[in-house]
Amino acid sequence: MSAAGGVTAKVIRYALRDVVRSRWLVGYALFFLAATDALLRFGGGGSSALLSLMNVVLLLVPLVGTVFGTMYLYDAREFTELLLAQPVRRDQLYVGLYVGLALPLSGGFVAGLVAPFLVHGVDDPAQWRLLAALALTGVALTCVFVGLAFLIAVRSEDKARGLGAAVGVWLLFSLLYDGLVLLAVLLLDDYPLERPLLGLMLANPVDLARVVLLLQFDVSALMGYTGAVFERFFGGAGGLAVAATALAAWVAAPVLLGMRAFRRRDF
Amino acid sequence: MIEVVGLVKRYGRTPVLRGVDLRVRRGRVTAIVGPNGAGKTTLIKAILGLARPDGGRIAVDGVPLDGGVDYRARIGYMPQIARFPENLSGAELLALLADLRRGGGSGAVAPDEELVERFRLRAQLDQPLRTLSGGTRQKVNAVMAFLFHPDLLFLDEPTAGLDPVASSILKDKVLAERAGGRTFVLTSHIMSELEELADDVAFMLDGRVRFCGPLEELKRATRQANLERAIAQMMTQEAA
């Protein structure tokens, strides 16, 4: 292992130990455990449970990633300074802190989501694939929103403002976006809007995640307006590949931008 | 050991350092003194690479800082605020630092844990850091600065929050290490403490170093018997 990778791995190891012992993380995992378990018991079978869980994941995972990510970086301010006074490069530290949070957060989510399925089993083997898709998408969303939260926290000195901005980003992507798109469609219904709409869809990680999942679930009735357009345009596998690629870009971009800001900022 | 020339730093539009010149000599204790907001901590952070200067030069041992990080392997830093990851124990924090430093190759030397013993900290090192009192965390903070036998130590208000016993232990440690040839830069608002420790004084006001030289010289120049009065004299002179 190279010296650079070594430093990052060391930071990850200790950050991980810190986060894993956090009550919030335990609470988060327990929440998914309880929700999944309840849906499997009382929700009438695996596939409807998965569908309900999808909505929980799309709403909650971004919110928790955002809030947890912002708070974590603000609380780690003095720790960051201490580590930067060691022979450690800023990039290494940033990646270390990012992975050190995104990894346990993803782990807690996946554990809470999957464990009840392992206990209760499924009524159709195809549901394992859906469960895997749900888990993977949730992990991707965790990475996207922790990255966005870190980016905001690095760029804003003030904790209250940073947290406000982060929650604002979540609100925008999770709740407001589809409504705004619909509004635009209503206002501009004389124009051919399919291509711009596809662009708008790629510009929202939550919409993207929803499309990825719904293309798996094959229930386009539940898509938002943008999702419906997207499916018509791309259909099955091609659309999935595009959406997955865009989602990967959504993971990478905030991390790279955040790293750049982190390199330049003053502590 | 350290040479700072014309260092300028602004936070947004507010200038914090307006052309700082400073020379820290090897094997001596240099105290940076000055009122709150004079730029003491920013100056230290600039030398450590935590704050990025807008102008001027810094050289450590004749080597200009260029964004590299290796020079910090020889530096110990005790920051003003001791806040650590809540769920780690002190022992884990020390292990992390040891891990990070070991990359350099010279991992054979045992860390300096004298302060752990003298502060009677051993038992508390196994508890999560969030359960420790502020003073105890400050002790952990001090231990970390000395841990790797650094040549150059920055102590930012080291005795703030320490009880008299712990504070004396820390001061003894500083004097012993200086006798061993190490270089210190420290800030404090407790003049009697600086009187006890400092060889050189850098007096900062409004983002500039107004005086930099031996303590005795400062007293002579201001015709005052002790540091507190000498500094007070300089501040009133500046104000006039």
pLDDT value for B111: 85
For residue A21, give the nearest of B83, B87, B97 by CB distance: B87
Q: Which residues of A touch B9 (CB under 8 A)?
A: 266
Q: How distant is the Cα of A77 from the closest Cα of chain B, in angstroms?
A: 9
pLDDT value for B240: 67
pLDDT value for A222: 57
Lowest pLDDT segment from A30-44, A214-228, B58-72, B174-188: A214-228
Confidence grade of residue A2 (pLDDT, cut at 50, 70, 90): very low
Give per-residue pLDDT as tens, A239-266: 778 888 898 999 999 999 999 999 999 8
pLDDT value for A117: 92
Instruction: Identify the top-confidence range among A48-52, B25-29, B67-71, B81-85.
Output: B25-29
Candidates B11, B47, B48, B50, partner chain A, best to mutate (most A CBs within 10 A): B50
| Residues above pLDDT 90, as percent of chain B | 65
pLDDT value for A241: 82
- Collapsing DSSP states into helix, strand and coil, what is residue B203? strand
pLDDT greater than 90 at residue B236: no
A88:B82 CB<8 A: no
pLDDT greater than 80 at residue B227: yes
Q: What is the pTM of this model?
A: 0.90
Asked if A159 reaches chain B (Cβ–Cβ under 8 Å), the answer is: no
C-alpha torsion sign, points B184, B189, B193, B195: positive
Sequence-separated (6 or more) residues with CB below 8 Å from residue B192? B228
A85:B96 CB<8 A: no
Candidates B80, B83, B126, B140, partner chain A, best to mutate (most A CBs within 10 A): B83
pLDDT value for A228: 67
pLDDT greater than 50 at residue B22: yes
Q: Which residues of B touch A6 (CB under 8 A)?
A: 103
For residue B11, give the nearest of A84, A88, A266 by CB distance: A266
More confident residue, A191 or B231: B231
Asked if A246 reaches chain B (Cβ–Cβ under 8 Å), the answer is: no
Give per-residue pLDDT as tens, A171-229: 999 989 888 888 887 888 777 777 777 788 788 999 888 888 887 776 655 556 666 66
Q: Give the integer Cα–Cα distance in Å for A224 and A41.
A: 28
Confidence grade of residue A144 (pLDDT, cut at 50, 70, 90): very high
Confidence grade of residue A231 (pLDDT, cut at 50, 70, 90): low
For residue B117, give Cα distances in angstroms to A116, A225, B123, B172. 49, 67, 10, 14
pLDDT greater than 80 at residue B106: no
Asked if B75 reaches chain A (Cβ–Cβ under 8 Å), the answer is: yes
pLDDT greater than 60 at residue A19: yes
Asked if B98 reaches chain A (Cβ–Cβ under 8 Å), the answer is: no
For the residues B176-205, what does the mean pLDDT come to?
A: 93
Sequence-separated (6 or more) residues with CB below 8 Å from residue A143? A65, A102, A106, A251
Q: Which residues of A touch B11 (CB under 8 A)?
A: 266
pLDDT value for B143: 94
B84:A82 CB<8 A: yes
| Residues above pLDDT 70, as percent of chain B | 97
For the residues A74-86, what does the mean pLDDT come to?
A: 92
Its CATH architecture, for the domain B2-239, is 3-Layer(aba) Sandwich (3.40)
For the residues B171-182, what does the mean pLDDT come to?
A: 95
More confident residue, A245 or A236: A245
| Residues above pLDDT 70, as percent of chain A | 91
Query: Residue A191 has which token pair?
Result: 């124009």
Candidates B99, B144, B153, partner chain A, best to mutate (most A CBs within 10 A): B99
Asked if B232 reaches chain A (Cβ–Cβ under 8 Å), the answer is: no
Confidence grade of residue A230 (pLDDT, cut at 50, 70, 90): low
Confidence grade of residue B45 (pLDDT, cut at 50, 70, 90): very high
Where are the domains positioned within chain A? 3-264
Asked if B144 reaches chain A (Cβ–Cβ under 8 Å), the answer is: yes
For residue B100, give the nearest of A10, A79, A267 by CB distance: A10
pLDDT value for B107: 52
B144:A82 CB<8 A: yes
Q: Give the integer Cα–Cα distance in Å for A241 and B16.
A: 51
More confident residue, A214 or A109: A109
pLDDT greater than 50 at residue A1: no
Lowest pLDDT segment from A37-51, A72-86, A179-193, A228-242: A228-242
Lowest pLDDT segment from A103-112, B31-40, B102-111: B102-111
Q: Which residues of A touch B73 (CB under 8 A)?
A: 86-87
For the residues A72-93, what does the mean pLDDT come to?
A: 92
Which of B8, B17, B30, B71 minimizes the C-alpha distance to B183?
B30
Q: Which residues of A touch B137 (CB under 8 A)?
A: none
Q: Which residues of A touch B87 (CB under 8 A)?
A: 17-22
Asked if B100 reaches chain A (Cβ–Cβ under 8 Å), the answer is: yes
For residue A79, give the nearest of B48, B70, B85 by CB distance: B85
Asked if B81 reaches chain A (Cβ–Cβ under 8 Å), the answer is: yes
pLDDT greater than 90 at residue A267: no
